């Protein structure tokens, strides 16, 4: 989908050619002397329409308007949340009518955040997965022109960042949505290698022999029950000086989770293809970085494998040795995400990072605690937590800080190893975070539990692409401020 940002008044919009024209009407709307303003004034006076968020009025073949279909859309105060809600309610009709060329015009200047909310909601609502369908139907919407009364440098930068964000979200969705036989650890590694062909990026893929040499016994134990070989993916984006410490992202890459010997119940087990949502989000972020090219350094680590229950599978009660040297008693093989992450977190030490953030569909307990609205966030440093909270708010990809009190780790004690991989039932998301905390003592660390936010079930089943938005906003906030340059009249960007 291609995006164009241009200067466009309501009078000019009435003459523009497109399949459909959406006119955004806020609480501060002031009518001009043009055909669209005349129509809006009449609808407002007749009380057939209002500026309330989500209110819609459709018109067809309107006099003086070139577009065959015009939609007046109420956006309230035109804040990001208003825009997201209004656009989200309209995208189903755009998808159903197979609109290809769309013009969206706002009589008022939008903020950068509102612009992003608008375009991300359009992309979200018109997204189509087609990879494994015999007769795929591609996304019909191919061109979006956004018209504003004037352009600013901030809006031009916002367009570029938003296009990069959308492509990153959709890349994450693509890989999370693929069935497990179309998204094996080897396939994930190939996707990462392809990403690395863009500038300022490199990729290294380690197989079972290399992982064994590193002493990643915990990671290896999860993979040993599967015929699919594990892969440890190391992505590097070098946009800043080599002397600058990177931020490291660690994504859980369980490409299918049966639970292992601690087998899951069959109901909805197909959704366990989404258990690599953390890995997909890391790939999505790197896709965005390749397009936006910020002046920062980022490392992505993805331990990828399946969790299967064959005769070689790890058993409850087995003790394994992690890369850190700590021994782990595996009491539940379905608590496997923390077992692959802990070795990746130890590996992250070699980069001397300014911060490490792991992302994982880790616990059902987090779903119970926070539902599908906010991801659970744990952090060892206040400044890191505050940065992630702010980034989530800006991206409308929300998280919520959870505690890391030492007392929560007491139930992880083992009589036969340094630590058990599960503890008590109560506070399960926190206990899982406390397990990971043991392996993160050498750097500032945050953990995002996205079990409730990485995908949707039911009729709308599919990956959400979260938390690519949160992560990207956080990373971009770490780059040095840019010098001002003059704004151009028209900016085009697309994929």
**Positions marked catalytic:** 264, 338
The residue whose two tokens read 């693929």 is: 178
Structure token digits, residue 420: 């058990």
Whole-angstrom distance, CA of residue 402 vs CA of residue 445: 13
Q: What is the largest distance, in Å, between two alpha-carbon atoms of the chain?
A: 81
**DSSP type of residue 408:** G
> ∠465-471-472 over CA atoms, to 5°?
90
Whole-angstrom distance, CA of residue 284 vs CA of residue 298: 13
- Its sign, for the CA torsion 33, 491, 167, 95, is positive
Whole-angstrom distance, CA of residue 149 vs CA of residue 155: 12
Q: Exposed, middle or buried by CB within 10 Å (0-12, 13-18, 19+), for 483?
A: exposed
Q: How many CA atoms lie within 13 A of 419 on its CB side?
A: 22
Whole-angstrom distance, CA of residue 306 vs CA of residue 336: 10
User: What are the start-end ranges of the E strands in 368-421?
Assistant: 375-379, 399-401, 419-420
Query: DSSP string of 262-303?
Result: SPPPSTTGGGGGGGGHHHHHHHHHHHHHHHH--S-EEEEEEE
**Cβ neighbours, 10 Å, residue 410:** 12
Structure token digits, residue 217: 């016994």
Task: With H, G, I as helix, E, B as strand and everything else as coil, classify residue 350.
Answer: helix
Q: Are 377 and 446 in contact (CB under 8 A)?
A: yes
Whole-angstrom distance, CA of residue 2 vs CA of residue 122: 12
Structure token digits, residue 374: 């906010």
- Its sign, for the CA torsion 417, 421, 427, 433, is positive
Cα Rg of the chain, angstroms: 24
Structure token digits, residue 243: 């002397």
- Under 8 Å CB-to-CB from 362, ≥6 apart: which residues? 252, 337, 338, 429, 432, 447, 449, 450, 451
Whole-angstrom distance, CA of residue 345 vs CA of residue 250: 7
């Amino acid at each position: 989908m291609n995006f164009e940002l241009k200067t466009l008044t309501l009078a000019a919009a009435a003459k523009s050619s497109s399949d459909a024209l959406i006119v955004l009407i806020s609480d501060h709307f002031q009518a001009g002397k043009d055909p669209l303003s005349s129509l809006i004034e009449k609808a407002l006076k007749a009380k057939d329409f209002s500026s309330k968020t989500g209110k819609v009025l459709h018109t067809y073949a309107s006099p003086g308007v070139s577009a065959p279909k015009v939609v007046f859309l109420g956006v309230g105060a035109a804040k990001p949340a208003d825009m997201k809600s209004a656009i989200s309610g309209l995208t189903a009709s755009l998808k159903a009518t197979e609109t290809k060329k769309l013009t969206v015009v706002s009589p008022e200047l939008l903020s950068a955040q509102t612009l992003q909310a608008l375009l991300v909601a359009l992309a979200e609502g018109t997204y189509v997965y087609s990879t494994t369908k015999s007769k795929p139907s591609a996304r019909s919407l191919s061109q979006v022109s956004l018209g504003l009364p004037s352009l600013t440098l901030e809006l031009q930068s916002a367009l570029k960042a938003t296009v990069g964000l959308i492509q990153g979200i959709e890349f994450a969705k693509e890989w999370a949505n693929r069935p497990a036989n179309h998204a094996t650890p080897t396939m994930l590694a190939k996707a990462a290698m392809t990403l690395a062909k863009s500038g300022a990026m490199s990729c290294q893929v380690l197989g079972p022999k290399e992982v064994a040499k590193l002493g990643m016994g915990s990671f290896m134990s999860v993979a040993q029950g599967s015929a699919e070989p594990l892969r440890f993916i190391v992505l590097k984006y070098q946009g800043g000086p080599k002397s600058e410490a990177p931020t490291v992202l660690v994504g859980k890459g369980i490409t299918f989770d049966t639970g292992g010997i601690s087998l899951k119940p069959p109901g909805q087990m197909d959704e366990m293809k989404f258990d690599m949502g953390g890995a997909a989000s890391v790939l999505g972020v790197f896709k965005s970085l390749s397009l936006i090219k910020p002046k920062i350094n980022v490392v992505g680590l993805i331990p990828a494998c399946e969790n299967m229950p064959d005769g070689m599978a790890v058993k409850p009660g087995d003790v394994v040795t992690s890369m850190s040297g700590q021994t782990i008693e595996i009491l539940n093989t379905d608590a496997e995400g923390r077992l692959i992450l802990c070795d990746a977190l130890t590996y992250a030490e070699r980069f001397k990072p300014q911060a490490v953030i792991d992302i994982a569909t880790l616990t059902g307990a987090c779903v119970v605690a926070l539902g599908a609205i906010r991801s659970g966030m744990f952090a060892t440093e206040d400044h890191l937590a505050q940065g992630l909270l702010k980034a989530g708010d800006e991206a409308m990809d929300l998280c919520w800080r959870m505690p890391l009190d030492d007392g929560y780790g007491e139930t992880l004690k083992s009589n036969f190893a340094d630590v058990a991989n599960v503890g008590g039932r109560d506070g399960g998301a926190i206990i899982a975070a406390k397990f990971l905390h043991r392996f993160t003592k050498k750097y500032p660390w945050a953990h995002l539990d996205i079990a409730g936010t990485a995908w949707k079930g039911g009729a709308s089943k599919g990956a959400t692409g979260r938390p690519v938005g949160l992560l990207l906003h956080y990373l971009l906030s770490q780059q040095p401020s840019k010098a001002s340059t003059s704004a151009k009249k028209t900016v085009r960007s697309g994929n």
